[in-house]
Structure 1
């Protein structure tokens, strides 16, 4: 077996800095109100002379302006479990240790590649989320945890190499009980190698069986004895803003963080999201809810951010925002969109489903519709909107005799490449007008036609027209008609791309 250990030495501070990475000197403080001490400090605070263990009153005497945020144990626990859910993407065996996460990766390497590649992927995910870290690998989770406290990036892949690496670990960094780490140096035992060489009976009499059990778990002579972690079925993330926010633009940064966290969580579950809610918290417990719905499950972070931002841009804030919360309760399975082996689309071309969702977010749910097919050959009646907006995406159907394929106005073909849908039927425009309008200007030049359309006798809307492909005086290619046998009084039916 091979276990990876992710140590998070600045978990509490990183959780706060994610709200506002551009802040000045900032410290976390803990303890009684009248005797608070600094438990963590960012780089700007350390450069100004503030340090861990310093009393808050002494820090305020040294530096007049800095942010002091209370240490929040509940928030630290939430971030710890969130990162465990992210790590679940790489292994089904994930466990929590103090300020650390361990995951069994020997089977994962058959999917993600050798350890250096898997390590790089873990580091990239953590860096993107804004959490500083150390990562090591060893045959037991406790050995990986101990080695991570000594150096970053160490990888011992065999039991023999692990035992050799443990020999040099100082007792003070062995993560053994405090009684042992305080007593053993006075006995001349300063490394784990010296401790492991001592007679076990003497250690049992002096320190009890618990120390021997920890040493055996460290070396792999006993099972690790860890509880497995499983991600919850609901994503619930709350960010308390550093200051009151009165405009939507200032919510963009925390929104990007939250949707990025949601995407990382979904990747860990190998799932997607189809509906989630943004809750903007105001004073006195008032809340503005912003629902975000998708037609199909999604988990791409950029797409989730764009959709949420599009909904948020439509909100008028009634009051300043104190905190944001994102709740996703419906997390269905996610199936990535496939592409043909010889697909000629550009690599970064936007898939149709994602384009549809962005349009709905920007324009509103009822602004984008699925096109329905009809059997009416009259062009102005040959397309219809389906009953439910965007019920299943854009239509790519033929809308009856004498009318070609229309891809909701987003056809890619140029006029020179249009081909008849049916034998003997001329090309059809990519932009079809809702109703014919007079074609103004000089008489057009005829490129193709005529094509006779005579229909509608059954409902009193009878038409008899000769259709032509024409070029206007401005060089535009149009689909127009006039009365049979005539070439004036032109009516415009559509435009070619």
Structure 2
């Protein structure tokens, strides 16, 4: 087995920055007691002002001004970790959140599907960057070793147990996850690296240190296994974003909406499913939420398409009160079936599939404005086609080019002097069972301009020709 550890050293800070559209503004995370507020993390812009983690807020304000303070929110960090576990589930069935700010993935069985480790690692980094999260990634022969090696390395790949042990031996003793008392005791003994500790007799270690120290060392070397609880994705997706200010325009909601949709797409990819309906709740300072419902005719999980659909529903909406928070809820998560395409797609590069165009039209024009057609087993032309929400195929069988592609909303009277009849008549007698009885002779016609149409003569009331449709 091969284990990858994805360490997120700035997860708390990145969880805040990914929700803001002003990354260059100096920002710090603060925590601690009310009497002594402490800077827990700073972004690069704040670091350039001389601020650093561990400073008191009072000292930071004395040193610089013009930076934004945000309260550290453990619940927000936990929400992002759950999202990452759902995302990682796409690449491995064994995903664990055993360590804080880290993901453990068993990837040995995934390499046949996703390619060699360098290819998979590059893909992981690309998607984590898109999610706005900084990372360090290490591959090792057991999960504990991968996690501890990530404290000092990034990009290290060790597929062999001997190579893993060699790399572990060079780690500083305070970076291998030992209890503080044990690491300090080893340091006082003059042991600076893990390899020096591993060289000591086991019975001597057992006499001087608690049993947990030897257990951890054995787990580092893969001699004993670590009991991991593996992640299981939930059956629904829900996320909430606090805007921290009142929003009254659609434009200001687009950036947080895009981030929430990207998180939804990552969740769907991890569960290997799509979404057919989701709700966007606009939480106001006062009054009930404004609920925006987005429904699709088929399951989708493309982030760009889902954002365009949500945006199309949001922009025509009249915001009656300032929006303070956003909440996205998706409970209808059916299986996702990718669209089948030919190896050499003849469409132009700029063209988009009909399914995506259909959903965009429905989002812009409304659900009732876009309809499909369904064929019905009826010889009367005006009854042979019916509106259908999904354009399901019917049971009518007709030879190609035997019926016009464009039927008029109402028949148009023709002058026989202006048209030429082509071929013999086709008689249609039908509808006696529903009160819409017709007896007609249909002709193919050609106008003086060369247009070809379909016209009939009513046998019940002999008279002129009536144009009912045009051929392409």
Relative to the length of structure 1, the TM-score reads 0.84
**Aligned pairs for 1:4-15 within 5 A:** 4-15=4-15
Is 1:433–2:408 an aligned residue pair? yes
Indicate how the Cα distance of structure 1 residues 186 and 451 shifts in structure 2: closer, same or farther if over 3 A, else same: farther
27 and 360 in structure 1: CA distance in 2 versus 1, 3 angstrom threshold: same
CA contact (8 A) 1:170 1:190 kept: yes
Q: SS of the counterpart of 2:35? A: helix
User: Measured at CA, do residues 288 and 198 of structure 1 come closer, stay the same or move farther in structure 2, by a change above 3 Å?
Assistant: same
Instruction: Tell me the CA shift for residue 383 of structure 1.
Output: 1.9
1:394/1:312 CA distance change after superposition, 3 Å: same
- Which residue matches 2:461? none
Match of 1:412 in 2: none
Structure 1 residues 494 and 163: CA distance shift in structure 2, 3 A: same
Give the C-alpha shift of residue 100 in structure 1. Answer: 0.6
* Pairwise CA RMSD: 2.9
Structure 1: distance between partners of 2:350 and 2:206:
64
Match of 1:279 in 2: 281
Q: Distance in 1 between matches of 2:243 and 2:370?
A: 35
1:142-177 CA distances to partner (integer Å, 9 max, x unpaired)? 111111111210001100111111111111222221
Partner of 1:16: 16
1:272–1:332 contact (8 Å) kept in structure 2: yes
Uncovered stretches (5+) of structure 1, i.e. residues with no partner? 405-419
**Aligned match of 1:330:** 332
Residues of 2 paired with 1:112 and 1:444: CA distance?
68
CA deviation profile, 1:78-107 (whole Å, cap 9, x unmatched): 111211111111111111112111111111
**Which residue of 1 is the match for residue 453 of structure 2?**
479
Q: Give 3-state SS (helix, strand or coil) of 2:195's partner.
A: helix
Name the SS for the 1:48 alignment partner: coil
Greater Cα offset, 226-235 or 346-355? 346-355
Per-residue CA deviations over 1:46-104 (Å, capped at 9, x if unaligned) read: 11222111111222233332210000011111111211111111111111112111111
Question: Matches of 2:349 and 2:466 in 1, distance apart?
Answer: 43
In structure 2, relative to structure 1, the CA distance for the partners of 1:230 and 1:395 (3 Å cut) is closer
Indicate yes or no: 2:234 matched with 1:237.
no
Change (3 A) 1:285 1:15: farther
Check conservation: 1:453, 1:467, Cα contact below 8 A: no
* Match for residue 350 of structure 1 among 331, 349, 352: 352
Are 2:404 and 2:469, in contact at CA under 8 Å, matched by a contact in 1? Answer: no
Q: How many residues align?
A: 460
Alignment of 1:231-270 (within 5 A): 231-270=233-272
CA distance in structure 2 between the aligned counterparts of 1:490 and 1:330, rounded to whole angstroms: 49
The match for 2:146 is 144
Deviation at 1:215, TM superposition (A): 0.6
Q: How does 1:4-403 map to 2 (within 5 A)?
A: 4-23=4-23, 24-96=25-97, 97-284=99-286, 286-340=288-342, 344-345=346-347, 349-386=351-388, 390=389, 393-395=390-392
TM-score (ref. length: structure 2): 0.88
- 1:295-335 C-alpha deviation (Å, 9 max, x unpaired): 33222222222222222223221211111111122322222
Aligned in 2, Cα 1:4/1:435: closer, same or farther, shift over 3 Å? same
Equivalent residue of 2:177, what SS?
Answer: coil
- Structure 1 CA distance for aligned equivalents of residues 441 and 330 of structure 2: 56
Determine whether 1:468 maps to 2:445. Answer: yes
Matches of 2:418 and 2:161, distance apart in 1: 85
User: Aligned partners of 1:349 and 1:130: how far apart in 2?
Assistant: 30
Residues 381 and 224 (structure 1), Cα distance of their counterparts in 2 relative to 1, 3 Å cut: same
Distance 1:400 1:211, change over 3 A: closer
Cα drift, residue 377 of structure 1:
4.3
8 Å Cα contact 1:470/1:480 also seen in 2: no
Maintained 8 Å contact 1:4/1:144: yes
**Structure 2 residues not aligned, in runs of 5+:** 459-463
